[in-house]
Amino acid sequence: MISSHSSDTPTPTRPSSKSSFLLRATAASSHFRILAIDSSALVLEAQQRHNLSPDASAALGRLMTGAVLFSYILVKHENSRVMLRIQGDGPLGYVVAEGSSEQGKATARGYVQHPEVELPLRLQDGKLDVRALIGAGDLGVSRLLPGSEPYTSSVPLVSGEIAEDLAHYLLHSEQIPSALLLGVYLEGGVVHTAGGILVQAMPEASEADLATLERNIAAIGNLTNALQNASLLEVVTRVTEGLSLELLEEATPLTFECRCSRERLVAAMGYFSAEERQEMIDNGGQEAICHWCNTHYQLTAQEITSLEE
């Protein structure tokens, strides 16, 4: 079993103020593992931090949601992270997202190469054309474990629709058959609703249960449309109808969180040559921008000089 759906729909009204969270569950006597995310607030914050176009918001929102889902199934150690990088030949360039699952919380961050890019809506359905934005290229998946070198693998993109590419990676690189739904809904060009559902089939899953799951997912159709009319839990209940859904714990908070800091950026100045640092000092300091979260730091000449001491 492998299926995927990505959806992005623009229409005109107001942004959502909901908090993002993750649900974990099982179904069919634990023969299905379910992870579900309402990433609305997370993706809205990314859009605002990076001043993303609607198109870039849709692509990054999908990938950030996918990175959090991957962090729950590909790494088992506390404080581990998963980084996803899509490098396509489309106008958006590369898209990068990182997700982590820690005790009691989940976090994500991400950015795109060309945040301003916009394309015409698809003629057939009026949706954002993420496939054309990304084009052909590769998906890289990196596991970032404490005290270890990153482990990275990559596969060619199969569609540029992101959900299909991530599901393809899970099946062919990790031997994890799964159904993956991702979506971002925009109103007036602003992120209103975003989310993702990942259903992982265990080897013991019966053909009858797999068929039931596939019928349920087909009935759901567009994830973002479903989330406009129902809560995340209600949508997950519909996905697992007839399969005895069992929630494992309370909802886990999900936030945009970057690991940058002023201290790290000052320390990074040590990688520049003495001549380059002196030029910064002569100019009265240096502005540094974190590409992950777009935070601007103004480093003073005194801070840079302190590296010589």
Q: Are residues 291 and 159 in the same domain?
A: no
Q: What is the pTM of this model?
A: 0.90
So what's the pLDDT on residue 4? 57
So what's the pLDDT on residue 222? 87
Q: How confident is the model over 126-149, as pLDDT tens digits? A: 788 889 999 999 999 999 988 788
Q: How confident is the model over 157-167, as pLDDT tens digits? A: 999 899 999 99
Between strands 246-247 and 94-102, the pairing is unpaired
**Does the structure show a pLDDT above 60 at 16?**
no
CA distance 132 to 90: 6
CATH of the domain at 81: 3.55.30.10
More confident residue, 209 or 9: 209
So what's the pLDDT on residue 6? 61
Over range 48-68, report the average pLDDT. 97
CA distance 129 to 9: 10
Q: Are residues 135 and 194 in the same domain?
A: yes
**Does the structure show a pLDDT above 70 at 79?**
yes
- Residue-range definition of the domain harbouring residue 301: 262-308
Q: Are residues 56 and 167 in the same domain?
A: yes
Q: Are residues 242 and 269 in the same domain?
A: no
Over range 20-48, report the average pLDDT. 97
CA dihedral 13, 258, 95, 176 (to 10 degrees): -100
Q: Are residues 179 and 285 in the same domain?
A: no
How many separate domains does the chain show? 2
Q: What are phi and psi of 252, to 5 degrees?
A: -100, 125
So what's the pLDDT on residue 198? 97
Q: Are residues 171 and 287 in the same domain?
A: no
Q: Are residues 235 and 276 in the same domain?
A: no
| Domain termination site, one of 215, 234, 256 | 256
